[in-house]
Amino acid sequence: MAVALVVAAVGGCLVGVGPVWAVALGGLAVAVGALSLAGAVRHLVLMAREGRRNPPPGRLVDVAGHRMHVLAEGEAGGGPTVVWMPGGHAPGAEFRELHTMLRARTRSVLVDRFGSGWSDVGPFPRTTAGEAEELLAALERAGERGPFVLVGHSFGGLLVANVARRRPDLVAGLVLLDPTPLEVIAFAPPGRQLARMRRGMLLTAVRQLFGLHRDPGGRTGQGCAAASIFAELSPTGLARVGWETVVYDGDLGDLPLTLVIPRDLIGGEAVLAGARDPVEAERIVRFYLRSRVRYLAASTASRLVHTPHGTGHDFPREAPEFVADVVWDLVRELRVIRS
């Protein structure tokens, strides 16, 4: 709204200058400002309506002066509590189906990172290191006590591995679902996929800012937060935050770690688009498949599980029962150890 008012005000000043070109340009600016203001008001109305229709199902807890949404259900039964973290910068609700499957067996927790779901947008810039600390603070403020089994997919896997490195005393085990290996960001063949994704997030945020969207639940802050944290997913960004973000070989000691990955590049064929010849294509495939297993070296108690045939990187959505069973197997093992 402030941007729209400034544009309209500048247009009004130009109209008052007098020359024909200034009047025309000023009139255009006033019209753009008025339309932008109407769009911004529309966005606020849609958000308020959506908020009334869909109140947060969990608790909003204070983390550094901002509200973070935590949904915890089920009974731990003397074992660890499962905490889910979806990929990208998605809200916890992306794993609602998995959460529902596990809450009948143990305590299960969904957390909306700042800038997602029912949580506030939170501070900027967004970083993986910062979100690791925020996740720990949110669990504590919500009254959740370890030990935890942290389950993360893709970029969420990188996040929960960071949490485990920082607070191994609170973590009983990790399940990493095809987690993002930062070698891929630093050393992969040249490509602009991540840059295009980030640009798309920013464009979506601008459309939402001025009401140019159909999704009634679209929040400007979500796109901005996702674009902010994706800034570190580049060779230069990674060089800046690497020491705080990379989980190196041996960093997790003997923490039980289950790495779940597809057997091939199903769903990821786009990475081969730039291959110049079959030899380079084979090298690219080998690079990505070997990078996928690098988290096994983070712990001396790691093990590898392959996803069902025909599934790709999006296997938590493609085979949720399989994922729930893998997580439950680790929880059950840890219960036996604790007893």
> Of the ranges 20-24, 276-280, 310-314, which is most confident?
310-314
**13's tokens:** 């000043």
pLDDT at 202 over 90: no
308: left (phi over 0), alpha (psi -120 to 50) or beta: beta
Alpha-carbon span 252 to 264, nearest angstrom = 26
**pLDDT tens by residue, 65-121:** 999 999 999 999 889 999 999 998 999 999 999 999 999 999 999 999 999 999 999
The pTM (predicted TM-score) of the whole model is 0.87
User: 258 pLDDT band (50/70/90 cuts)?
Assistant: very high
pLDDT of amino acid 111: 98
pLDDT at 338 over 70: no
pLDDT of amino acid 266: 86
Mean pLDDT computed over 5-30: 82
Q: How far is CA 62 from CA 57, 68, 139, 141, 201, in A?
A: 16, 6, 11, 7, 27
Q: Which fold has domain 59-194+219-338?
A: Rossmann fold (3.40.50)
The total of other beta-carbon atoms located within 10 Å of residue 180's CB is 23
Long-range contacts of 281-284 (CB under 8 A, 24+ apart): 284/189
Closest CA to 248 of 296, 203, 284, 281: 296
